[in-house]
Structure 1
């Protein structure tokens, strides 16, 4: 990216999510790679080229970098825990990453991970998403149930940059995981369609904060979305 043979643009700078996102595009040539390999490769390369040591958690920063690359459409979960797949174009300038230059740790509302079997579909400027708290799914599995509380929402961005606003002012029980993302140019219409189907199936959780929580699972959400687009309704 324009560096001379003896220069390193991050020399003397500690690793940040922004730095890791850029280095990932340079260092991870394979189409599918493991997060653990990215962490190892980035740290080794950064240190060898004169980058400053960091006292922050590199794993946490790498998760944020991967989320950012997913937001921009450069990357998606590969369907197996800890594995990621490059999409067609992965050359993204720092300004396009949606991060301030050398922005450090990032924001607390970015602390959302992907489920190991997360699905990212479609194209478009916005997206609908489904996320849940892992303990809800674990409890459902113990009870041999195939549905659990799931939030179905939308964002004007084509990714999982999802603000946790349902419980402002209170502590979240645990970190949520994104299980499904469907990119679309009409996210609000798609969200309304999803909510309507789930409401008429009697699956809306009335005692949950807000109106976006349903008794469902990611596969059901995906099947409804697939049906909607199969009917060519947007």
Structure 2
């Protein structure tokens, strides 16, 4: 790609995970680069060529784009944290259907709340050890209070995964300068956290419980709804923990 591209297809549009992935594949073909370099390169190129400056959190967008690039075969599974390895044999084109599920549940990434640019946020690799995998859900008390005031038993819950420690993972996402602490709702210990997480996301997406106005991987759920899903997935009850507050975690 040239520095200035009059035919830039995303001119006058905001970045989405699909657009981010497409631009990254063309800018960094045959290269190994850090995630921060990819984010800076894509964002600068997009703005210089007429793209609208995004209001989204670029780390979250980059992670969604990375999954799309890996699924489409453009990006290799790097063993080095934070390094993106663009395959040399690739022609820079991305299969439009490579990650339809990913685009389905992240269909309005411009609504993601900004979080601090934390360099050490984990990139989930497919080759991690099966012993330390967790699917978790957390929320902010204000969300639950608002729901209760409206007579609802459901509220926005972030559902994610980690291969380290749930407490540390959540802190790395939300930071420590917030007016209230996040509350951990549940934690599942499992050997295939990525599959479990995607399945839960998929079920909630099909049921229309996405909460895009809050952010990526946020869903309007009730405790009963979650328990029904866990039961449907035949998850061992001994592997599921529900917590009352954030300090319950070790």
Normalising by structure 2, report the TM-score. 0.47
Normalising by structure 1, report the TM-score. 0.49
Higher strand share: 1
